[in-house]
Amino acid sequence: MNKENFLNGLREKLSGLPQEDIEERIAFYNEMINDRMEDGLSEEEAIEAIGSVDSVVEQIMSEIPLSTLVKKKVTPKRKLKAWEILLLILGAPVWIPLVISVGAVMFSVYAVVWAVVICLYAADITSAAGLFVGLAGIVAYLRAGNPVGALFSAGMGMASVGLAILLFFACIWLTKAVINATGKLILGIKISFVGNKE
């Protein structure tokens, strides 16, 4: 891919951003390609070192706040006509509750996912506490002269610790997965705002 194709592809993918932001990004990557070419790389090698157009767009979009994109997208490009304002007002009893309902459902699903993560952490802490219960059981059974009960308590305490260790790694993995999924979801929303041409 040559520089012109790369920059044109970048311009097209960023078409939903304000024009001054697009030009700033294009100038930045144009200069970056030129600098790499001055360092001895060919045009294709310089572009390959930067990455694909999609990866560059993802990086740019990760830096732009979602609120900026939403504001740009919902701000009218022209003054609304009287009949458009009237339709918005008359339709408000329908579209406002729908927007609120969709937002509430999305928030609820996200809250449930985090509730599952928190419950898994609580189960992990409870399993780790099983070690102390097992130790207390060993002492109690030995005082009562029951070595079999003490052995059973020791086994249960070790099993609880083993489960706590496994749950700890599962908790860490699940937390990272939810955070990564959240980041990808936000990035996807940002790209969908920019990807649609005006």
Instruction: Give the domain extent around 37.
Output: 3-63
Is the residue at 71 inside a domain? no
Is-above-0.95 flag for pTM? Answer: no
Residue 148 lies in a domain: yes
| Residue 145 · residue 91 · CB < 8 Å | no
Q: Determine the pLDDT at residue 58.
A: 84
Could you read off the pLDDT of 10-23 as tens digits, one per residue? 888 887 777 888 88
Q: What share of the chain is helix, strand, coil (3-state, %, to 5)?
A: 85, 0, 15
Residue 190 in domain: yes
The whole-angstrom separation of Cα 165 and Cα 105 is 34
| Same domain membership, residue 171 and residue 120 | yes
Looking at the 3D structure of the chain, how many domains does it have? 2
pLDDT at 196 > cutoff 80: no
Q: Do 34 and 121 reside in the same domain of the chain?
A: no
- Quick one: 41 and 98 in the same domain? no
Q: Are 43 and 37 in contact (CB under 8 A)?
A: yes
pLDDT in tens, 22-58: 888 889 888 988 888 888 888 888 888 888 888 888 8
32 & 125 share domain? no
Q: Is there a domain that residue 98 lies in? A: yes
**What is the pLDDT at residue 130?**
92
Q: What is the DSSP string of 102-114?
A: HHHHHHHHHHHHH
48 and 100 assigned to the same domain? no
Residue of 180, 185, 176, 196 whose CA lies nearest to 66: 185
The answer as to whether 76 is a domain residue is no
- Tokens 């006509």 found at: 81
Report which of residues 185 and 197 the model is more confident about. 185
Q: Give a yes or no: residue 174 inside a domain.
A: yes
Question: What mean pLDDT value characterizes the chain?
Answer: 87
User: What is the residue whose two structure tokens read 């920019």?
Assistant: 194
CA distances from 171 to 108, 150, 164, 176 (A): 21, 31, 10, 9
